[in-house]
């Protein structure tokens, strides 16, 4: 695939994503500036082209003719609208703010992220894409999962390959996580819980009572323990079990079913963070 943005746009469209034209850096004698022309542009190479999409993200399109027209009109960067419109959510890992270290800590605690689509950003970071869970909104957030990790969900967008970053490097599809070669993964259950969305089975159905019965009697080894506790805490708290009761139950469950058991303090921190998110979720969904 050449680095013609139209080829990439067609690939994204073929996978059900909506795209939009975004300004690109332009190299001039006096240095690099944003194609919007403003010398003091605050988001060089990252904001929608107002001339083509006056309503920004709202004008993101899946129509091949419209999209082809945009990227034939000039050399622009490509934005992909995230959220249910494109069926994706993206983790935006920024190593300049230690996002790579924060991600490594999450993976150490909850288990490795599944293989899924990944874009390398021109700024040295990474966009890790997951399937949107469809049954609810995924809010955009900055730093909620850890410093340097942003989440792009409904109402957000990412700058995508082969866009050019202001530093001069191009965004690229990660060769071993290519859209043509690996499947788009569902959100791992622990990540889904941390985002305040309930765990779903791989086939997209909600976990059934007998899945929970199987889940609660198993034993969990290192690498799977945190995920198991996160899921159970989410299950109990969504059923309106008092957080302190939940903590007490899971503290005992940990000793019985985790080999070796997690530190008590870790169970406390996990249950507290899920409880805080559950409270926030109830506020958001009103009287749920």
**Binding residues for Zn ion (CB under 5 A):** 23, 34, 36, 41
Please say which residue, 41 or 207, places its beta carbon nearer to Zn ion: 41
SS3 59: helix
The nearer residue to Zn ion, 21 or 196, going by C-beta atoms, is 21
DSSP 169: P
Nearer to Zn ion, 36 or 236 (CB): 36
**Minimum separation from the CB atom of position 36 to Zn ion (A):** 3
CB-CB contact of 207 with 199 (8 Å): yes
Q: 113 is written with which tokens?
A: 């992220």
Smallest CA-to-CA distance from 44 within 117, 98, 123 is with 123
CB of 108 to Zn ion, least distance (A): 38
Number of C-beta neighbours around residue 259 at 10 A: 11
**Cα–Cα–Cα angle for 132, 136, 141, nearest 5°?**
70
Pick between residue 123 and residue 198 the one whose CB is nearest to Zn ion. Answer: 123
CB of 42 to Zn ion, least distance (A): 8
The least CB distance from residue 44 to Zn ion, in Å, is 5
Q: For residues 130 and 127, give the distance between their C-alpha atoms in angstroms, rounded to a whole number.
A: 10
Closer to Zn ion by CB, 11 or 26: give it. 26
In the three-class reduction of DSSP (H, G, I as helix; E, B as strand; rest coil), residue 172 is classed as strand
Query: Smallest gap, in angstroms, from Cβ of residue 3 to Zn ion?
Result: 21
Task: Give the span between the Cα atoms of 191 and 234, in whole angstroms.
Answer: 12
- C-beta of 44 vs 111, nearer to Zn ion: 44
Residue 110 or 157 having the CB closest to Zn ion: 157
- Find the Cα–Cα–Cα–Cα dihedral 186, 103, 229, 268, rounded to 10°: -150
**Whole-number minimum distance, CB 21 to Zn ion, in Å?**
12
Dihedral angle sign, alpha carbons of residues 164, 191, 130, 288: negative
Count other Cβ atoms within 10 Å, centred on residue 279: 13
Q: State the nearest-atom distance from the C-beta of 40 to Zn ion, in Å.
A: 9
């Amino acid at each position: 695939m050449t680095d013609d943005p139209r080829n990439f746009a067609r690939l994204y469209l073929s996978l059900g994503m909506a795209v939009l034209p975004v300004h690109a850096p332009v190299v001039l004698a006096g240095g690099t500036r944003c194609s919007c022309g403003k010398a003091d542009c605050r988001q060089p190479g990252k904001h929608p082209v107002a001339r083509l999409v006056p309503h920004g993200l709202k004008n993101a399109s899946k129509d091949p003719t419209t999209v082809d027209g945009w990227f034939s009109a000039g050399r622009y960067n490509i934005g992909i609208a995230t959220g249910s419109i494109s069926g994706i959510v993206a983790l935006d890992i920024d190593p300049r703010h230690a996002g790579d270290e924060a991600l490594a800590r999450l993976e150490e605690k909850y288990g490795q992220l599944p293989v899924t689509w990944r874009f390398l950003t021109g700024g040295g970071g990474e966009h890790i894409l997951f399937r949107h869970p469809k049954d609810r909104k995924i809010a955009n957030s900055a730093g909620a999962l850890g410093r340097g990790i942003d989440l792009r969900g409904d109402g957000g967008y990412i700058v995508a390959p082969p866009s050019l970053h202001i530093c001069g490097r191009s965004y690229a599809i990660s060769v071993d996580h290519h859209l043509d070669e690996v499947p788009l993964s569902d959100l791992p259950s622990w990540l889904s819980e941390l985002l305040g969305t309930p765990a779903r089975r791989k086939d997209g159905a909600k976990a059934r009572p007998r899945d929970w019965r199987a889940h609660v009697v198993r034993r969990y080894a290192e690498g799977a323990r945190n995920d198991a506790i996160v899921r159970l805490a989410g299950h109990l708290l969504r059923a309106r079990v008092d957080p302190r009761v939940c903590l007490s139950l899971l503290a005992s469950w940990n000793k019985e079913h985790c080999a070796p058991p997690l530190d008590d303090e870790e169970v406390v921190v996990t249950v507290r963070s899920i409880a805080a998110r559950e409270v926030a979720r109830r506020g958001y969904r009103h009287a749920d």
